[in-house]
Structure 1
């Protein structure tokens, strides 16, 4: 099942997060975004050259929509990270599967179709409850701006993933979809560092940036394959596995053990994922 690529994506995004956490004390957010995206662009250009393929596309407008939505989502999420506790910002960002399910249902309704698998929709909502139990978000009354940014970030993320689905259906290869998104990230990063400045790369910093860029490239490619070829709702549900991977790594590396509610949340996330996978439906 192609949706299982989302598990690879979730793990690699978690690994990327570890590298970002290690690099955050030495480099600003703009630098991280720039290097993360630039490494992807360079690797994919080399891949295209070796394979004799081209970055030319007949779907440039769709790539612009996907990249714009993805870059806006990324920028808003980073802003919410500066305004909210990490757990709250992550929870709001993980609302994207809910927005995806609503977009799928709205699209089906506009087409006069009732084929939406409500079992999968219910599993997505159950998985989000698991995320909330695990992360236990809190928000200060003065931080409403960050909260709104986090919610909107999830919406744009959902729009970007739906655009990935459309590009995949149009026959666009996953590497080219990732290339144009990475190119958008380079533009965002350049604008960011123009304001915040840049630091010289050390050997340690170079290693961390390579880790961030390679992990992000693998994660984005796996995510693109999952959404473009798999069932949209199943893939959206499996996004929640990233929270479990992050929790397990936090336990092993930093000794951060979840409370009882967190364990219940992880069980709920696993149960919702198994429910989604048990009886796969036609691609949404």
Structure 2
């Protein structure tokens, strides 16, 4: 999971590096295309069936996952890397809230504390953004956390239906690639050159490696322990943002990020 956290932070770096050359939609297209191609090669080599009986659930998961990553990529291009990643990691809070509202699960004291701490952290982290021209990017970053939480909820439902992980990933990357392609047909395709092709290669490689490492971590390890180490993505993102772009996180910002991470860890222990 430490490897996965480092890879996902590195993916954020490549998204930010790609901003002068590509739009967020283009970056997302190449990221999902590389993942879809990689998974398809394995799936078809093993002759595994890709048409599931629960295709409607796969579509819902794919659409929410696509929305989450679109919002994340946009937020990364407009905000400091650590801020964008932290807002995306509110997904655990939204997942817990969805379980309470949708499944009528009991709102335990632990989840209540997690939601309160997380809400305080979000307000503190976003407050400076509302006073600047990055307020829209900050809200989009928060939306990435909401859609990611909804996507996690749907992945959980797919798992309860007996759907294998590889098929969930195949559908998500396939639908995301198709949606991005349709978007770009009516938008634009930026030229790929020797000056930027390495960014796309790094983006695809880091995202795919992170996905593989994360899948292995959740398969082999304990769920809460894996989720805890997953929050190292925020730490790695802060260090990379500082080292590459001189992003300095204020003391207030550090407290806000710490509150969001703590609330996520508390919420993750709900199950």
Band the TM-score falls in, shorter-chain normalisation: 0.7 to 0.9
Q: Which runs of 5+ in 1 are unaligned?
A: none
Distance change >3 Å, CA 137–CA 194, structure 1 → 2: farther
Q: Which one of the candidate residues 214, 217, 224 is aligned to 2:208?
A: 217
The answer to whether the Cα contact below 8 Å between 1:33 and 1:188 also exists between their aligned partners in 2 is no
Which of the residues 98, 106, 115 maps onto 1:103? Answer: 98
Instruction: Give the alignment of 1:148-227 within 5 angstroms.
Output: 149-221=140-212
Length-normalised TM-score, structure 1: 0.74
Residues 42 and 233 of structure 1, relative CA distance in 2, 3 Å threshold = same
Partners of 1:222 and 1:38 lie apart in 2 by 19
**Contact 1:237 1:276 (8 Å CA) reproduced:** no
Equivalent in the alignment of 1:259: 250
For the Cα contact (< 8 Å) 1:88–1:137, is it kept in 2? no
Distance 1:28 1:234 in 2: 36
Structure-2 change in CA distance of 1:122 and 1:39 (3 Å): same
**Do the aligned partners of residues 26 and 268 (structure 1) sit closer, same or farther apart at CA in structure 2, a change above 3 Å counting?**
same
Written as runs of structure 1 = structure 2, the 5 A alignment for 1:6-45 is: 9-45=4-40
**How far apart, in 1, do the equivalents of 2:121 and 2:103 lie?**
27
User: What whole-Å deviation, never above 9, does each CA across 1:126-148 have from its counterpart, x for those lacking one?
Assistant: 35645665676412588876666
Assess if the C-alpha contact under 8 Å between 1:164 and 1:228 holds in 2. Answer: no
Give the TM-score taking structure 2 as reference length: 0.77
CA RMSD, Structure 1 to Structure 2 (Å): 3.9
Give 1:54's match in structure 2, choosing from 49, 62, 71. 49
5+ unaligned residues in a row in structure 2: which ranges? none
Q: Distance in 1 between matches of 2:119 and 2:152?
A: 18
Question: Deviation at 1:61?
Answer: 0.9
Report the count of equivalent residues: 270
Q: CA deviation at 1:168?
A: 1.6
- Give, in whole Å, the separation in 2 of the partners of 1:166 and 1:225: 20
Shift of 1:94: 4.0
* Structure 1 residue 250, shift from structure 2 partner: 1.9
Q: Does the C-alpha gap of structure 1 residues 150 and 207 become closer, same or farther in structure 2, counting only changes over 3 Å?
A: closer
Give 1:272-283 correspondences, 5 Å limit. Answer: 280=269
Q: Label 1:48 to 1:130 Cα distance change in 2 as closer, same or farther (>3 A).
A: same
Look up the SS of the partner of 2:29 in the other structure.
Answer: helix
Contact 1:134–1:258 under 8 Å retained in 2: no
The offset of 1:178, in angstroms, is 1.2
Q: Relative to structure 1, is the Cα distance of residues 267 and 72 closer, same or farther in structure 2, using a 3 angstrom cutoff?
A: closer
Q: CA deviation at 1:172?
A: 1.6
